Structure 1
Amino acid sequence: MDSQLHSQLNELYRVDYHHNVHPPKDKSLRLSPEIEEYIQSTLNTTKEELKGLPTVSPPQWDDSQPLTHHFVSSSHNTYLLSRQLVGRASAGSYNHALSRGAHCVEIDVWPSSSPEGLVVTHGYTFTKGTSFQKVCEAIGAGVDALGPDTWPVLISLECHVGPEGQKNMVSIMRNAWGEKLIVKLTPADLKGKIILMVEYYAPTNFAEIEEEEESEELDPEHETTTSETFVQGEDLPEVLIGKVERGKISDELAALGYYARSWKPSKGWLLQELIDPRHILINISESSVISLLPAHLDALIEHGRAHLRRIFPKGTRIRSSNMEILKFWRNGSHIVSMNMQTIDTSMQINEAMFAGSPGWVLKPQVQRLLNKDSRKVRLSIQVVGISSAPPPKGHENKPFHAYLKADLFHEQQDQEWKSKTEKTTEEGDATWNEILEWKFDHDELAFLRLEGDVDLAVFCARVDDIQQGWRLVRMFHMDGKASDATLLAKFELDRSRLVQKRVQQF
C-alpha cells in the first residue's frame, strides 16, 4: 500500500481501544497531584504498578467451537475511503481494515473499461473505483501480515459481472490468494485461510428475493463521521453499468464459494429447512431482520445456531451511520457489517467487543446452548477522578466544568448514572470520588460506557471483560484515538445467586 495513503488512513481511522487490554509500556502517563497522592496514601501502591494493569481482559479463545457459535468483526463497503455516495475507493482500505481487526470484508465488483475489465466500486454512485486485482492482492497481503494462526477471514463478494467476466475474476482470486482460499477443505483447517462468500440463487420454485425498500426516509441519524476529509484514492475508468442477469453465477465462481453460499433469502426463509445446498449463509438487510422482531426472536437465535447470517445496512444510510449492533447480536446474527470510518455508539461497542480478540468472539451461552443464565450481578464503580481531560473547544489551557456519565447497555433495560459537576484545573484534572452501583440480571452482551463531559472522552467495554480492583482507565477521543485522559476507578463485579437464595429463606 502507498505509504502516504497508509498514513492518511491511520491518521483518520485508527482506533486505540487495545490500550486498555495491553497498556502501552513506552507512553508517559501524567496524573493529577490529587490522584498521585490518593494512589500513594490511600492505595499504598505506585503509579507504575497501576499503569501496567489491564482494565479489560478478554476470555481465552476456544477455536474448537463451530463457526456459527461466533460473532465476527465485519466491515461494510471496505473499499471506501469516505462516505457512501461520493469520494474514492482504494485497495489500501483492505489492509487498513484487516490490521484494525476486521475479519469480514466486502468487495463490490463491476465490469469496466479498464485493461483487466473489472473494478471495485459503489455502483450507481459518484464513487471512483479501484482495481479488482489490486484489491485481491491487498487482501492476500493483509491476511499474510496477520500470520498463519489468524482466524479465518470472510470475504463478502457482490458480483455484478456476467459469467464470462467471472472467469477472469476466478483467475485473479486464485493467483492472489493461492492456498489461502478455501476450496472444499475440512472446516478444521481454516486458520490463515480465506472464506469467499459467493451469491447463491435458489431454484426458480422458491419465492422471489425480497427487494430492499427504497421508499424509506433518508437516514435521520445525526451522528457525524470521523472526518469529512476525503482521502485521495485511485481513479479508474467509469463502471460499465449493464444489465447482469440475476442468477448467472459461473460454475467456476460458485466452486470458490463452497463454504459460504451467500443467499439473499425469499419470504418465509426463517421457517425453511435449509439442507441442500450445504453451507448456506443468510445475507439480509437490517430492515428485513428488524421486521421479524420481536415476534421471531427465538426463531432467529435458533436459526443462527445452524447457519451463518450477515446483516448489511439499509440503503438509506447515506451518512455512513451504523446499525444498532447490539440489536443484531442479540438476535443471533453473526456478521453485522459496520461502516468503520464512523465511530458512533455502535462502533464503540464493536471496538470494545473485539479488542484483543482474533476477530471472532464466542456468542453468549444462551445462544449456543439455549441455557438461560439466572445469575444476578452487582456492579460497583468507585470513581476518584480524571487527569488531563481534553477541554471543550475554546477552553484550551483554561478550567472548565466537567462531569462523568456512565451508561449500561443491557438486554432488559439500559441504565444511566451521572456524577456531580466539578471545575477542572487548567490541565483538565477533576476529582469526584463518587460510587455508582447497579444490580441487574447477568447478560453476556452487557456493555459499560464511561463518557467525560459532553463527549470529550470515552471508555467502552463488555462488562464481563472488565477487570476488578483499582485501574487507570485509558480514555479515548470520540474518534477512537488515544487521548491523554486517564480515569482512576475501582471496579467490583459480583455474580451470584445470593439474592435469590435470600429471598427463598423468608
Structure 2
Amino acid sequence: MSSAGLQNESLGSGTLWTSAPGDDVQLSDHIKNFLAEHPEAQEALSKPVLTVPEEDDSHPIADYFISTSHNTYLLHNQLYGQSSADSYTHVLSRHARCIEIDAWDSSSQGSPEVIVVHGHTLVKSIPFREVVEAIGAAVDADPQGWPVWVAIENHTAHEGQREMVRIFEEVWGDKLVSRELPGVGQVTPRDLRGKILLEIEWYPPAAEGDEPKPLGIFNEMHHEVKKMVKEVDPGLDPKVLPELSALGVYAKSVKPGKDFLTKQSEEPDYYLLNISESGAGELIPKALAGLVANNGKHLMRVYPEGLRVDSENLVPTRFWRAGAHMPALNWQTFDKGMQVNEGFYAGTRGWVLKPPSLRSDAGGREKRKGQVYLSLQVVAGSGLPRPSGLKEGEPFQLGLKAEIMHSSGDVIKRTKEVPASASGGVGAEAVWNERLEWTWEDEELVHFRLILVHKKWDGETDLGAFSAQVDGLQQGWRLVSLLDMRGAPTGGWVLVRVDLARE
C-alpha cells in the first residue's frame, strides 16, 4: 500500500499553526471588512498563532519529551484491518521519534520468517524486514535528524530473535546504536543525530550456574509473564537472548513491580520504564514526586490500555506533567489525545525540552506561582468545514468550544451556536463576536484546545480542531487554522484575539 492510501495522510499539518497565513489567504467578506476597520488586527495575516520552542539538543536524553507512536504498523483499529510498512515512513516524516514494532514468528510451517502483526487478532501481518527497511530509509532521508527510538515488543523464540539481530545490523549498519558511545558521559540528542536506538526488554546477567533472574524490583511482573507464556507454549523460553537485549543500549526496557520507586534494585544505568496508562495513572496521585525524580534520570514510556480496540488515545498531558517522556499514541486516530500531541510538537523535530522543574538538574527549583488570566475574543470563521449529510440549502449552526487543560481539571467554555452560511462549495462562514475567559493557578504544561462543533437534536459532532501549549500561544490578533477529524487542513480559519496575563 502506498503512503497515499494511509489514513490521516496529512497528519502533521499542525505546522500550519507555526506559520503566518500570508496576505493571499482566502477569507470571508465579514473578516475582510473587520480587518479593514481594525488596522491593528491585520497583524493576524503576518504572524503565526504558535511559537516554536527553541531547538536545543545539548541536554541529557531524559530531559526531553519525545513524540511517540503506538502499534505504528496499524492503519485502523486494533482487532482487524490492514498493516503497512508505509505507516512507519508516514509517522517518521511527521517527526514521530519513537515508533513500535510487534515482532512474532511466522505461523507458516517451517518458515523462520519474523513478521510484524498485532498478535491474536485478525490484523494482516507484514514482513519484519520490510518494516526495518522502511525505518532505515526514513532515517536516511534526514541524516542529521534527531534520534529515532524503536520499541520492540518481542514475541519470537530464540531463532527469530537471532534473525531480528541479523536484519537490524544488515539493514541499518552504522545508523544502529549497538554500544555505548565511547568517552560520552550523559548522552545527548546531539551525540545521536541520525541514529536509531532500540528499546528492548532487559534482564540482569546471571552468575555462572544460576538461573537468570529478572530485575529485582520487577520480580512480580516477570513471574506472571513467564507463567502465562509457559501455559501457552511449554517449550517457549520468554527470556530475550543476550545478543538482542544488548542492542537496547540506552533503553533497557523494564516493567514496574510493587513499590518500585522505593525499593533498592539492580537496575542498569540506562533503563526505560515501560508502563501501562492505568499503571501510571494509579501512581501519579500517590507518588508524583517520586515519578518526577525517576523520570529526571530514566526514560519512561506509557502505552495505551489493551481495551482501546478502536484505537482511541490516552490524553498525554497528565503523563507529561509526571515527566513521562513517551506517552504512546495511535496516530491513525485524530482524537483529543492526538490533537494535543499535534499542537505540542508542532514545528519541532519530535523532541521537546522539558520545563526546568522536570529536568535531571531540577534540584530545588520552585514551581510557578500566581494566577493566570486568558481572554479569547472570537470574531468569526471563514472556509469552515460543513457538516456531512446535509441536504442542499439545509440550514445549520456552528459553535466553538474552547478548553483549558490543567492539572486541577479541564475547563470548557462555549460560544453560542450561530447560523452558518455556505455557498459555492468553499466552506462555511459564521460570526460569533464573543469573548471567553479563564483564570487558573499558574503551572507548566497547561494546554488549550479550540473545537468547531455542529450541534443537532441527537448530539454534537466535532468538525475542526486546534491545540497548543498555552506557553506557546502568541498574543494579539491571530488567524487560527483548523484541522479536520483526520488531521488534515480544512482550509478554515477563525479570527481571534489572545490576551494572557500573569499575576
TM norm. shorter chain > 0.5: yes
Q: What are the within-5 Å matches in structure 2 for residues 440-455 of structure 1?
A: 440-454=440-454, 455=462
Residue in structure 2 matched with residue 176 of structure 1 by the alignment? 171
Shift of 1:115: 5.6
Residue in structure 2 matched with residue 385 of structure 1 by the alignment? 380
Task: State which of 319, 332, 355 in structure 2 corresponds to 1:328.
Answer: 319
Matched-pair contact (CA < 8 Å) for 1:210–1:267:
no
Look up the SS of the partner of 1:143 in the other structure: helix
Greater Cα shift, 268-277 or 186-195:
268-277
**Distance in structure 1 (CA, Å) of the matches to 2:15 and 2:88:** 20
Write the deviation string for residues 259-288 of structure 1: whole angstroms up to 9, x where unpaired: 110112322222234564220111111122
Aligned amino acid, residue 361 of structure 1: V
Q: What are the within-5 Å matches in structure 2 for residues 100-499 of structure 1?
A: 100-112=94-106, 113=108, 117-145=113-141, 147-183=142-178, 184-185=180-181, 186=184, 187-188=187-188, 189-202=191-204, 203-204=213-214, 206=216, 207-209=219-221, 245-274=236-265, 276-368=267-359, 369=362, 370-393=365-388, 394=390, 398-427=394-423, 428-454=428-454, 455-495=462-502, 497=503
Task: State which of 15, 18, 22 in structure 1 corresponds to 2:19.
Answer: 22
Greater Cα shift, 354-363 or 289-298:
289-298
Look up the SS of the partner of 1:349 in the other structure: helix
**Distance in structure 2 (CA, Å) of the matches to 1:28 and 1:246:** 63
**Distance in structure 2 (CA, Å) of the matches to 1:409 and 1:197:** 31
**Distance in structure 1 (CA, Å) of the matches to 2:495 and 2:391:** 23
**Distance in structure 2 (CA, Å) of the matches to 1:250 and 1:286:** 28
Residue in structure 1 matched with residue 90 of structure 2 by the alignment? 96
**Distance in structure 2 (CA, Å) of the matches to 1:346 and 1:376:** 26
Write the deviation string for residues 137-189 of structure 1: whole angstroms up to 9, x where unpaired: 100111122x2332111110111222233222111001111111112214242
Aligned amino acid, residue 174 of structure 1: E
Shift of 1:293: 3.5
Matched-pair contact (CA < 8 Å) for 2:75–2:83:
yes
Shift of 1:422: 2.3
Look up the SS of the partner of 1:140 in the other structure: helix
Look up the SS of the partner of 1:385 in the other structure: strand
Write the deviation string for residues 55-83 of structure 1: whole angstroms up to 9, x where unpaired: 11122022111111111111111111221
Q: Percent identity?
A: 40
Matched-pair contact (CA < 8 Å) for 1:161–1:244:
no
Structure 1 residues 154, 303: CA separation in 2 closer, same or farther (over 3 Å shift)?
Answer: same
Look up the SS of the partner of 2:166 in the other structure: helix
Residue in structure 2 matched with residue 228 of structure 1 by the alignment? none
Segments of 5+ residues of structure 1 without an aligned counterpart are 214-240, 498-506
Matched-pair contact (CA < 8 Å) for 1:73–1:350:
yes
Residue in structure 2 matched with residue 75 of structure 1 by the alignment? 69
Write the deviation string for residues 106-151 of structure 1: whole angstroms up to 9, x where unpaired: 1111111386521111111122211111111100111122x23321
Matched-pair contact (CA < 8 Å) for 1:31–1:387:
yes
Q: What RMSD over aligned residues (CA atoms) do the two structures have, in Å?
A: 2.4
Q: What are the within-5 Å matches in structure 2 for residues 8-19 of structure 1?
A: 8-9=5-6, 14-19=11-16
Look up the SS of the partner of 2:284 in the other structure: coil
Residue in structure 2 matched with residue 233 of structure 1 by the alignment? none
**Distance in structure 2 (CA, Å) of the matches to 1:437 and 1:45:** 20
Look up the SS of the partner of 1:371 in the other structure: coil
Matched-pair contact (CA < 8 Å) for 1:380–1:493:
yes
Matched-pair contact (CA < 8 Å) for 1:402–1:452:
yes
Task: State which of 40, 44, 51 in structure 2 corresponds to 1:50.
Answer: 44
Matched-pair contact (CA < 8 Å) for 2:19–2:48:
yes
Look up the SS of the partner of 1:65 in the other structure: coil
Write the deviation string for residues 454-502 of structure 1: whole angstroms up to 9, x where unpaired: 312221111111111111111121222111211111111223x3xxxxx
Look up the SS of the partner of 2:384 in the other structure: coil
**Distance in structure 1 (CA, Å) of the matches to 2:12 and 2:393:** 26
Aligned amino acid, residue 471 of structure 1: R
Aligned amino acid, residue 194 of structure 1: I
**Distance in structure 1 (CA, Å) of the matches to 2:394 and 2:382:** 14
Shift of 1:89: 2.0
**Distance in structure 1 (CA, Å) of the matches to 2:403 and 2:487:** 17
Normalised to the residue count of structure 2, the TM-score between the two structures is 0.86
Write the deviation string for residues 39-59 of structure 1: whole angstroms up to 9, x where unpaired: 01212575xx63342111122
Matched-pair contact (CA < 8 Å) for 1:406–1:448:
yes
Shift of 1:319: 1.3
